[in-house]
Amino acid sequence: MGAGGLALNLRTFLARPALQVAPELLGATVRVDSAEGAVLIRLTEVEAYEGPADPASHAFRGPTRRTAVMFGPPGRLYVYFSYGMHWCVNVVCQPDGTAGAVLLRAADVVEGIELVRRRRPGVRAERDLARGPARLAASLGLTGHDDGTDLLDPSSRAQLVTGRRTAEICNGPRVGISAGAELPWRFWLSGAPSVSRFRPGKTRSGRLTT
C-alpha cells in the first residue's frame, strides 16, 4: 500500500470518538524531525477528551481561536501552553467539524535518545525522559509553532504511525483536572515504566488541563 493509502486509513481510524481512539493509540509511534536530528517515541499513556460533551475539554464551550484545530480535520496536532510553563501535545480525532483530542501523556524514547537528553538536561532515568505531557512535548521538540501540523502528511516534520502492543491496557481517572475527574478516560500500558504517577486532579486558577 502506498503512503497515500496508509494516510487515508489512518485518517479514518482517527475520525472516531476520542474515547475509542485513545486506547488504540497505545503502542503507536510519533517521529519528529528537526535540524538537530530525529526523535521517535512509542506511546505508553494517553487521555481522551471528547469536546463539547466533556467539561474538562478546551472545546467544551465551542470553537475559539485557540481551539479551532480541535474541530478537525482529524490527524492534526493540537499544541497548547499549560499554566504558562510548558507545552502539551494532543492528536485531534473525531469527524471533521466535531471536536475531540487525545492528550499524549507519556512515552518510551525509541530513537534519538541523546538528542532528548540534551533537551531534558538533569533528567537521569531514561524512563523519565518523556514521562508526563510536558516532558513528552519537550522530548519531541514540539511547541506552539507545531499547532495544526498534519501528522498524516508525508511532508510534515511530525509523523504518526500506529503499531502493535503486547501489554495489557489499563484505564483510570484523568490527571490534573477537576471537571470530569471521575471519568476513567486515561489509558496506559500495564507495567510500562514511563507511565506517569497518578495524582488526583486540581485546576490552577480555574484553567483546565486540556
pLDDT in tens, 156-190: 999 999 877 778 999 999 988 878 878 899 999 99
Q: Read off the pLDDT of each residue in 197-201 and give the average, rounded to a whole number.
A: 58
| Confidence class for position 110, pLDDT limits 50, 70, 90 | very high
When comparing pLDDT for 197 and 106, which is higher? Answer: 106
DSSP-derived pairing of the beta strands 77-82 and 158-161: unpaired
Any idea what the Cα angle at residue 119 is, between residues 118 and 120, rounded to 5°? 90
What's the pTM?
A: 0.88
Note the pLDDT tens digit of each residue in 131-158: 999 999 999 999 999 999 999 999 999 9
| Confidence class for position 201, pLDDT limits 50, 70, 90 | very low
Q: Would you kindly state where each structural domain of the chain is located, as residue ranges?
A: 13-189
Convert 112-128 into a string of H (helix), E (strand) and C (coil).
Answer: CHHHHHHHCCCCCCHHH
Residues 6+ apart with CB under 8 A from 130: 41, 106, 107, 108, 109, 116, 136, 139, 140, 194
Highest mean pLDDT among 2-11, 109-118, 119-128, 171-180: 109-118
Cell 478537525 identifies what position?
72
At position 138, the amino acid (one-letter code) is: A
| Confidence class for position 99, pLDDT limits 50, 70, 90 | very high
The pLDDT, as a whole number, for residue 206 is 28
115 C-beta neighbours (distance < 10 Å), count: 18
| Confidence class for position 112, pLDDT limits 50, 70, 90 | very high
175: its cell numbers: 490527571
Q: Read off the pLDDT of each residue in 67-91 and give the average, rounded to a whole number.
A: 91
What DSSP element (H or E) covers 137? helix 133-140
The C-alpha atoms of residue 11 and residue 85 are separated, in whole angstroms, by 32
| Domain topology for 13-189 | 3-methyladenine DNA Glycosylase; Chain A (3.10.300)
